[in-house]
Structure 1
Amino acid sequence: MKQKTKKSRKANHQLRLRLTGLFFAVFILFSVLIVRLGIIQIVSGEEYAAQVKATEVTSVSSSVPRGKIYDTNHKLVVYNIPEKAITFTPPLNPQPEELLERSKKIAGFLVMNNKDIKKVTSRDLKDIWLLEHDNGEELLTEPEKKLYEEEKVKDKDLYKIKLERIKEEELQTIDKNLAAIYRKLSTAPAFSKTVLKNEKVTNEEYAIAAETLEKLPGIDVTTDWKRAHNFGNTFINMLGEVTSTDEGLPADKLDYYTAKGYQRNDRVGKSYIEELYDSVLQGQKKIVNTITNRNGEIIDSEIVSKGKSGNDLVLTIDMEFQAQVEKIMQEELIASIQKPHTNLLDTAFVVAMEPKTGRILAMSGQVYDRKTKKFTDYTPGTFTYAFEQGSVVKGATVLTGYQTGVRDIGETVLDEVMRFKGSGTFSSYQSMGVLNDLKALERSSNVYMWKTAIEMMDGKYIPNGTLNINPDKIEQIRYYFNQFGLGIPTEIGFPNETAGIKGKNISTYFQIAIGQLDTYTPMQIAQYITTIANGGYRMKPQLVKEIREADNTDNGLGKVVDEIEPVVLNKIDMNDEMLERVQQGFRQVTHGSQGTARSYFANEAYDAAGKTGTSESYKKGVKTWNLSFAGYAPYDNPQISIAVIVPNAYLDGYAQPHSAANVISQRVFRAYFEGHSGGE
């Protein structure tokens, strides 16, 4: 037993020794671990934290193919042409010296286009000269350097001194091609793919760039695009433009676009349809997570989203009809200019709409330069340029007379020479005697309209008496005119649309009745005549009828994403009987025995109705006459309404030498119905 107890004690002693050793070893290991952690956290903590911060992931987006534009018949109008491109994606905070060295290597195989070389400034050349001459230290005097060391002058002050002392002849030694490349590299936003060259990139340049990708970090080869048009200059201004890679985001809308996630060098629509529908055409950008090291160099990237091509637009415009309208306008302008007393004639406008929907079928403004004998497209003038439109507005006057109760349907008025005390005489182009509302429209009686307007302003014509009216009532007349779109924006959608100018001369307020007081745009007249044609509904003018997904196959258009429905802006406050009466009067203008447009439309198969107009105007201080026509066809089922205005058609004081507005209208109607086989 004693021997056994002795052995047991010995075993326990050995176990205690082992456990003590084990605990000591564990203690040592924990101590080492604690010390190591202390070193990491305290001694090297800042360094490791800096390394973590230095390796960052940045999301970078890049553009995708822009959507195409088709006409109403699905004919391709605007599309993209692919172009070889060489790009540069700069790291974070690149050093000027590094960029210059990289520029020299790129200049070894890449020749920039002349437009880029022309953008090189003297300042660009001076910056390069400083980089190549020890930052221009040789240009400073010792006293200046000492002042800098004593912090009595700032870096920017010395920099300015250096720039002033660089001689122009020294700049001549700097390669302009190199300078153009350096200018691009040095102004490129960090991590943003910037196009170095995307026009006239040669196969050799493209191949060399592709071969040197590893040697030149940030350089890449890709495919860029430019907008192209299938119909030449037809409708060119309204289609709009897209900014170039150099322009990037428009300066006046920089905050707007950057807030939406755009980068400064992104290309966007900068005018009219391209701008108005930029969010549709732009598509969803490709997004790439870019991983950079502590030096800001890109070490890896990961595609987060492949993006999606922009959607396509289908316009309401029939481009073949549009081309015909422009041709007609040009031919008639040239023909009219050959007539006497047309010294200031050079412009015409046309707007053609679908009465039931407000969809624009064609719109154009054409300006002729007598010196170059060339035409300029001025289509935006259809909603940015307002004129005295003349008698085309008389339909609104008659309807307002009905609605305000100063005229009854069929009521007669004496057309006579009106004489006001101290204000002279006013008359129609001839005395017409007693006439009713229909004849007043058919023969275009000014006197009927003036008397109506005077009574609407609580006045009454008294031969040789003083004109007494309530001037505040002019706003009531304007209220009813507004219902047709006269004097208010048509809501076509462009921010530069004008509502026209309101006349302020109280003594001539009654002239509003014949379109000689307030000014209206061709688009407003088109909306007005459309409202009468369709039964009293003021329609929003529309240029786009569908938005479709991009289809990159040969099958044609993609599926419809959004169909733009017609928009009724308001229904006029006149009953159907009143409206039908004016419609009948408009038909007598084109078909009546004394109709002012009978000779142009009475024998036409499309059965038009409408109203002619002439109005006094001025150009370059010279008094002239505008010619206009607003109408629709067919009379009983309108498919097209048009507004035509020829400003400054002939000089005042002479007999009317031509009827360009009527002839253009006649030919536009013919072109439409010949192309549509009479319509539905």
Structure 2
Amino acid sequence: MPKKKNPTPVRVNILFFSVFILFSLLILRLGIVQIVHGEDYKREINRKEDVTINNPVPRGKMLDRNHKVIVDNKPLNAITYTNEGASQKEMLEVAAKLARIIDKDTDKVRERDMKDFWMIKNPEEAEKLIKTKELELFKNKKLKNKDLYKLQIKRITEKHLSQLTKQDIEELAIFSIMNSGYKFVPQIIKNKDVTRKEFAVVNENLALLPGVNAATDWDREYKFEDTFKPVLGRITTSSEGLPAERLDYFMSRGYTRNDRVGKSYLELEYEDVLQGKKEKVVNVTDKSGELLEKELVSEGQRGKDLVLSIDMDLQLAVEEIIEKELWAAKNSPGTALLDSAYVVLMNPNTGEILTMAGKKIVKDEKTKEVFLEDDALGNISKTFNVGSVVKGATVLTGYKEGAINSSTRFDDRALEIKDTPIKKSYSYLGTPNDIEALKLSSNVFMFHTAIQIGKGVYRYQQSLNLDPKVWDKIRNSFATFGLGIRTGIDLPNEQTGAKGANYPVGKVLDLVIGQYDTYSNMQLAQYISTIANGGYRMQPRIVKEIREPSNNGEELGPIYKSFPPNVLNDIDIKDQWLERVHTGFKKVMQEPGGTAYRYFSTASYSPAGKTGTAEAFYDGQFRVKGEKLIQTMNLSLVGYAPHDNPEIAMAVIVPWAYQGNVDHGANKKIGRAVMDAYFNMKNGTKEPADETAE
């Protein structure tokens, strides 16, 4: 019987043959790809390059505590140019066409730019400015291209430049902007006073103006005009772009060089949230830089909104009060140096600043016109001798150091210390205790307190021999109230004040009555708030919360971040000590004999506070060069209300208020009117201050 053939080898052969055919087809396909289409694919791969562009968006708004818009964005018609790979010649052609359509400001065109432009416009004439022997030197490599260029620039005369027409200069102004920008970064050619006709004609001719666009730009709009504007801050212009001193910082965060950014105060302090999220567009180009297509990666989102703690209605009312009382005070004798006044209203329990106002009298040197300008920043940037308003801190320091107690009384007779001018109160006040010393504003009580803190003994016509550590004890204690240190307010450029020398040690007597170290009005507001709220130094805040931008322009977006009250420190005192200061401050304003009784006795809101008058030296704008410092008087006032449950704290400074003996009381008049304004607005009334307060 014959053997059957095994079918396995046949199947294996078929399998191998199939594999051979498949590999042959694969090799054939690879050959076609590499040999036939290889160059095409290579060109396709090499021709594309992605460039991501971040287009700016409008900044966030600023609103007051009642959600009234303070700073908004005003849309502007704008003509822009984006270099999408154009040559210099192509840009010049576009600039020439654009110059015939729009009027372009030429104020920033420099003579050097005009010379370069003349050379571009007149290349043959420019070549003739080079002498034959200079060309020979160039050929012999004894002169370089830059040397020939310098010679040409030097030899271009006014006659040459006069060949440039008005339109040529406009063309140059436009070309300079085009040529200064980075590739694919929009440059603003014009965004101020773009007429409807200019905007429409450019829009109709975009096909003839490659890279040009008729777009919408924006600018900051201030709803309350100049009110509070210095605190709101400034942004750079499109021509300024990023500030040179912070260029690396901004560039590392995705900004472009011509981005507008916060330049000062709130705009600067909150730049990160106000700037917004830029629109991202990917430009696909070939290797030569020619634009192939654009792709939107992500839509932009305007910046987040700041809700301020400021009440703009109250701010306006306080500014009006300052203006009225400042001009009225100028009618008093001895006020030639009086030029400013400052007010801060603060919630003592939260640190929120409701009002930060300041006005300064200035004189235009050309027109000789005298007018008031906003100086709200003077509340943090200027410091003064403030006088007796600090006596509350002196009394509480005396308690902490064991120098005085509730039974302490000092004879108010003047102190006569060896080699020292007589130290006294404004008149003899008997033998006051701490409460009476605050009410009557006894200097001598504070002098004796400082002597006790310094472990000294007062003896007629002898030296005090105080412990030098008395300076640190008192200043460190004052600092717990916010005097002489940064308050922590969310604004840059806050000044802490000047500290007098620690010698002779007897000068510490001036320190405890506010006539030695200098303090800002914001420090006074923090100090009186610390006393008003029970001993907690609160961080002052201008920004209450940050909100996400809303889709509906009329509504606020959700809260992105809020700022809860921040306690910086506790002054670490006993309640009974603080209560005695509260009582003394209440008597200042509500009891006959109190230094502010005449102005506040009729107030229905139960105020408490302390007045201050300080001998100072004028160093303001009217000082003649080389002239010695002029002695004058600073006026101040701190207060809060109601005295038993404070909801508002106030600080007022009127520097260089008067010379001589006629006190016009502007600090107290301003203070009474400001407190009235606050409580009237709270109660929904507009009643003026009681006439007896005048």
Q: TM-score, normalised by structure 1?
A: 0.91
Q: Are the equivalent residues in 2 in contact too, given 1:632–1:639 (CA < 8 A)? A: yes
Residue 117 of structure 2 corresponds to residue 99 of structure 1: no
Q: Name the structure 2 match of 1:466.
A: 463
Indicate the SS of the match to 2:512: helix
Displacement of 1:460: 2.0
Indicate the SS of the match to 1:137: helix
CA distance, structure 1, for counterparts of residue 538 and residue 26 of structure 2: 88
1:157 pairs with 147, 160, 176, which one?
A: 147
Residue 647 of structure 2 corresponds to residue 639 of structure 1: yes
Q: Are the equivalent residues in 1 in contact too, given 2:84–2:184 (CA < 8 A)? A: yes
CA distance, structure 2, for counterparts of residue 260 and residue 34 of structure 1: 44
Counterpart AA for 1:624: T
Displacement of 1:244: 1.5
1:418 pairs with 415, 440, 443, which one?
A: 415
1:444–1:176 CA distance, 2 compared to 1 (3 A)? same
Displacement of 1:118: 0.2
1:523–1:35 CA distance, 2 compared to 1 (3 A)? closer
Q: Are the equivalent residues in 2 in contact too, given 1:97–1:131 (CA < 8 A)? A: no
CA distance, structure 2, for counterparts of residue 185 and residue 562 of structure 1: 40
Q: Name the structure 1 match of 2:388.
A: 391
CA distance, structure 2, for counterparts of residue 233 and residue 283 of structure 1: 25
Q: Are the equivalent residues in 2 in contact too, given 1:340–1:657 (CA < 8 A)? A: no
1:502 pairs with 495, 499, 502, which one?
A: 499
CA distance, structure 1, for counterparts of residue 266 and residue 339 of structure 2: 26
1:29–1:667 CA distance, 2 compared to 1 (3 A)? closer
CA distance, structure 2, for counterparts of residue 32 and residue 233 of structure 1: 76
Counterpart AA for 2:357: S
Counterpart AA for 2:477: Y
Displacement of 1:581: 1.2
Indicate the SS of the match to 1:506: coil
Q: Are the equivalent residues in 2 in contact too, given 1:410–1:438 (CA < 8 A)? A: no
Q: Deviations over 1:156-214 (max 9, x none)?
A: 22221111111122112222211111111111122111111111112222122222223
Counterpart AA for 2:301: K
1:479–1:53 CA distance, 2 compared to 1 (3 A)? farther
Indicate the SS of the match to 2:611: strand
1:138 pairs with 121, 128, 136, which one?
A: 128
Displacement of 1:468: 1.5
1:122 pairs with 87, 111, 114, which one?
A: 111
Residue 601 of structure 2 corresponds to residue 602 of structure 1: yes
1:192 pairs with 157, 161, 185, which one?
A: 185
Residue 243 of structure 2 corresponds to residue 250 of structure 1: yes
CA distance, structure 2, for counterparts of residue 298 and residue 264 of structure 1: 22
Counterpart AA for 2:674: V
- Aligned pairs for 1:399-418 (under 5 A) are 399-418=396-415
CA distance, structure 2, for counterparts of residue 52 and residue 410 of structure 1: 93
Residue 663 of structure 2 corresponds to residue 657 of structure 1: yes
- Aligned pairs for 1:14-163 (under 5 A) are 36=35, 55-92=48-85, 94-112=86-104, 114=105, 117-134=106-123, 136-163=126-153
Q: Name the structure 2 match of 1:556.
A: 555
Q: Name the structure 2 match of 1:227.
A: 220
Q: Name the structure 1 match of 2:207.
A: 214
Counterpart AA for 1:99: M
1:141–1:582 CA distance, 2 compared to 1 (3 A)? same
Counterpart AA for 1:560: I
Unpaired stretches in structure 1, ≥5 consecutive residues: 1-21
Q: Are the equivalent residues in 2 in contact too, given 1:290–1:301 (CA < 8 A)? A: yes
Displacement of 1:29: 6.6
CA distance, structure 2, for counterparts of residue 541 and residue 333 of structure 1: 26
Count residues with an aligned counterpart: 646
Q: Are the equivalent residues in 2 in contact too, given 1:606–1:634 (CA < 8 A)? A: yes
Indicate the SS of the match to 1:414: coil
Displacement of 1:554: 5.6
CA distance, structure 2, for counterparts of residue 193 and residue 328 of structure 1: 47
Q: Name the structure 1 match of 2:677.
A: 671
Percent identical among aligned pairs is: 43
Displacement of 1:222: 1.1
CA distance, structure 1, for counterparts of residue 681 and residue 30 of structure 2: 95
Q: Are the equivalent residues in 1 in contact too, given 2:490–2:543 (CA < 8 A)? A: no
Q: Name the structure 2 match of 1:534.
A: 533
CA distance, structure 2, for counterparts of residue 339 and residue 35 of structure 1: 98
1:612–1:286 CA distance, 2 compared to 1 (3 A)? same
Q: Name the structure 2 match of 1:202.
A: 195
Q: Name the structure 2 match of 1:173.
A: 163
Q: Are the equivalent residues in 1 in contact too, given 2:347–2:648 (CA < 8 A)? A: yes
Q: Name the structure 2 match of 1:489.
A: 486
CA distance, structure 1, for counterparts of residue 471 and residue 546 of structure 2: 43
Indicate the SS of the match to 2:50: strand
- Deviation larger for 431-440 or 147-156: 147-156
Q: Are the equivalent residues in 2 in contact too, given 1:248–1:266 (CA < 8 A)? A: yes
Q: Deviations over 1:353-403 (max 9, x none)?
A: 011101001011100136423111111110110100110000000000000
Displacement of 1:28: 12
CA distance, structure 1, for counterparts of residue 84 and residue 209 of structure 2: 12
CA distance, structure 2, for counterparts of residue 35 and residue 230 of structure 1: 67
Displacement of 1:48: 5.4
Displacement of 1:53: 5.3
Q: Deviations over 1:575-599 (max 9, x none)?
A: 2111111111111111122211110
Q: Name the structure 2 match of 1:441.
A: 438
CA distance, structure 1, for counterparts of residue 407 and residue 127 of structure 2: 95
Displacement of 1:84: 1.0
Indicate the SS of the match to 1:433: coil
Q: Are the equivalent residues in 2 in contact too, given 1:589–1:611 (CA < 8 A)? A: yes
Q: Name the structure 2 match of 1:575.
A: 574
Q: Name the structure 1 match of 2:630.
A: 622
2:453 pairs with 452, 456, 463, which one?
A: 456
Residue 318 of structure 2 corresponds to residue 325 of structure 1: yes
Q: Are the equivalent residues in 1 in contact too, given 2:269–2:492 (CA < 8 A)? A: no
Counterpart AA for 1:603: T
1:154–1:411 CA distance, 2 compared to 1 (3 A)? same
Indicate the SS of the match to 1:420: coil
Q: Are the equivalent residues in 2 in contact too, given 1:391–1:611 (CA < 8 A)? A: yes
1:97–1:464 CA distance, 2 compared to 1 (3 A)? same
Counterpart AA for 1:648: W
CA distance, structure 2, for counterparts of residue 473 and residue 147 of structure 1: 80
Q: Are the equivalent residues in 2 in contact too, given 1:311–1:548 (CA < 8 A)? A: yes
Indicate the SS of the match to 1:352: strand
Q: Are the equivalent residues in 2 in contact too, given 1:606–1:678 (CA < 8 A)? A: no
CA distance, structure 1, for counterparts of residue 252 and residue 398 of structure 2: 51
Unpaired stretches in structure 2, ≥5 consecutive residues: 1-20, 624-628, 686-694
Counterpart AA for 2:256: Q
Give the RMSD, CA atoms, in angstroms: 2.4
- Aligned pairs for 1:355-366 (under 5 A) are 355-366=348-359
Displacement of 1:155: 2.3
Displacement of 1:519: 0.5
CA distance, structure 2, for counterparts of residue 29 and residue 564 of structure 1: 71
Q: Name the structure 1 match of 2:543.
A: 544
CA distance, structure 2, for counterparts of residue 455 and residue 663 of structure 1: 36
Displacement of 1:232: 1.9
Displacement of 1:134: 2.2
CA distance, structure 1, for counterparts of residue 379 and residue 291 of structure 2: 51
Counterpart AA for 2:579: E
